[in-house]
Amino acid sequence: MAARTLFLVLAASLIGFAQPVQARTICTLVVDAKTGKTVAEQGDCATRVTPASTAKIAFAVMGYDAGFLKTEHDPTLPYKPGYVDWGGAAWRQPTDPVRWLKYSVVWFSQQVTHALGEMALHDYAAKLGYGNADFSGDPGKKNGLERAWIASSLKISPREQIAFLTKLVNRQLPVSTHAIDMTLNIVEKHPVQDGWTVHGKTGMAYPRKPDYTFDEDHPWGWFVGWAEKDGRVAVFARLVQDEKKMPGTAGNRTRDAMYAELPTLLRGM
């Protein structure tokens, strides 16, 4: 590992050590999207876990390519009684693709997955290189279209997230130009220090215990996406796991930490 990259990884680690031990960082990986050079790497970036709501980026690519999704605001789907609504009032409203990603609306994801079906989802994921491409769901439950990506059968590693995102931002995915354009447009963006703009998606899911109940004390938290500045583009993935039950969501805490740390990590580009 180059000296500068090692310095940046150590600096990022020290930022984490300065905080109370609340979450374990499983992986931080930052890659120059144009050259493929690793800018920073820390931890186990090869083990697959649930993608949780980061899968919405892949679902957007699939949904636009298949024609179920059309523009940033079409379709706008109504909330219906019986839809999952643990996200609160923000989920109990008509939702379009922009709102879907902004509020991470699970029932909208389920409309996309049901429209495409398990076989098409598998085929898309396989050709996109999206993890294990397994949409079967929980064993014996036949619930893959409802939750394969939420602590169930679909799994992906941080390194695979990076490979998928690199092809997305370089417009190299084997899908339509429209699907790539629309997906890039609807992923939320946020300015951070040093003039970088970060586009990304959070995710959180609880691990499953042997009896298939949820371990609510140790959720995974993801933040994946890309950052751009003056023609430079970096893709990133961070995966953490909480050490104890915490307020808020692990995904949002992971996002906020990356907003703070990315400008330092990206000085290696």
pLDDT band at 56 (very low <50, low <70, confident <90, very high): very high
* CATH code assigned at 263: 3.40.710.10
Which residue in this structure is represented by tokens 């949409």? Answer: 135
Residue 187 has pLDDT above 80, yes or no: yes
The sheet that has 38-43: what strands, in order across it? 38-43, 23-32, 232-242, 220-229, 197-205, 189-191
Residues near 260 by beta carbon (within 8 Å), at least 6 away in sequence: 15, 192
- Decide if 152 is catalytic: no
Residues near 132 by beta carbon (within 8 Å), at least 6 away in sequence: 48, 153, 154, 155, 156
Residue 165 has pLDDT above 60, yes or no: yes
Can you tell me the distance from the alpha carbon of 125 to that of 94, in angstroms, rounded to the nearest whole number?
28
The amino acid at residue 9 is: V
- By residue range, what is the domain housing residue 219? 3-268
- Domains contained in the chain, number: 1
Average pLDDT score, the chain: 91
Q: Which member of 13, 53, 136, 152 is catalytic?
A: 53
Q: Which of 257, 236, 253 has the alpha carbon at shortest distance from 192?
A: 257
Can you tell me the distance from the alpha carbon of 153 to that of 132, in angstroms, rounded to the nearest whole number?
8
